[in-house]
Amino acid sequence: MKLICIGRNYAAHIDELNNERPKEPVVFIKPDSAILPKEQDFYIPDFTDNVHYEVEVLVKIKKVGKHIAKEFAPNYYDEIGLGIDFTARDVQQELKSKGLPWEKAKGFDGAAVVGKWMHKNKYENIDKLGFSLLKNGEIVQNGHTSLMLWKIDELIAYVSTYFMLKKGDILFTGTPAGVGRVVANDYLEGRIGEEAFFALNVR
Ligand code: ZN
């Protein structure tokens, strides 16, 4: 399986990193080896001094599809989740400045936190979900899916024109503003509404 990730999908986050607003979604892939095993601590790799958390709403693909029209996208997922796209920001900045791919900054072991899953029917409208990340008990990121530049069904239509989606693939839908650094002994908790979807320690 693969993790298909969207960058620059919230205007306020684009501005905080001084990036340009894209005309199309920014897409990158993480390998399945990037998934942090359940209940395991996140270890900051020694090739970076600046790992950032990015909390993101996740969508689990339930069947094979390609060239999926936006109006049929809901047939391809039932479950919504929450996770972290950990990013070695220093490595990424260097790669970006050279015009090189980001994989070393975003695809390393443990760089993808995948929390629990919830059936989409639990929510009235998945384009109106509030979600947050708490670091050591304080809210550091507050997002709302209504603020996505491209909504979930548009993202599925877009990415499926390039990549065949397969059962079990996970879409990371981009992070809102408020990204920041983690250090050893930080404790991160992600929530949709008031409900916790994941919690982990940083080492
Ligand atoms: Zn991200």
CATH number of the domain encompassing residue 41: 3.90.850.10
Residue 159, SS3 per DSSP: helix
86-102 mean pLDDT: 97
26 CA distance to ligand 1 middle (Å)? 10
53 CA distance to ligand 1 middle (Å)? 8
Q: What does residue 72 show for φ and ψ, rounded to 5 degrees?
A: -100, -5
Residue 9 has pLDDT above 90, yes or no: yes
For residue 70, count CB atoms less than 10 angstroms from its CB and return exposed for 0-12, middle for 13-18, buried for 19 or more: middle
55 CA distance to ligand 1 middle (Å)? 7
Task: Give me the number of domains the chain comprises.
Answer: 1
Q: Are 121 and 184 in contact (CB under 8 A)?
A: no
Q: HSE on the CB side for 192, CA within 13 Å?
A: 23
pLDDT value at position 18? 85
Helix and strand element counts for the chain (H, E)? 4, 13
67 CA distance to ligand 1 middle (Å)? 23
Q: How confident is the model at residue 199 (pLDDT cuts 50, 70, 90)?
A: very high
pTM for the model: 0.97
Strand order across the beta sheet in which 87-88 lies: 87-88, 51-53, 180-181
5 CA distance to ligand 1 middle (Å)? 7
Q: How confident is the model at residue 20 (pLDDT cuts 50, 70, 90)?
A: confident
89 CA distance to ligand 1 middle (Å)? 11
109 CA distance to ligand 1 middle (Å)? 16
185 CA distance to ligand 1 middle (Å)? 22
81 CA distance to ligand 1 middle (Å)? 14
Q: How confident is the model at residue 190 (pLDDT cuts 50, 70, 90)?
A: very high
CA Rg value for the chain: 16
Average pLDDT, the chain: 97
105 CA distance to ligand 1 middle (Å)? 11
Neighbouring residues of the ion ligand 1, judged by CB less than 5 Å: 54, 85, 175
56 CA distance to ligand 1 middle (Å)? 7
Domain around 20: 3-201
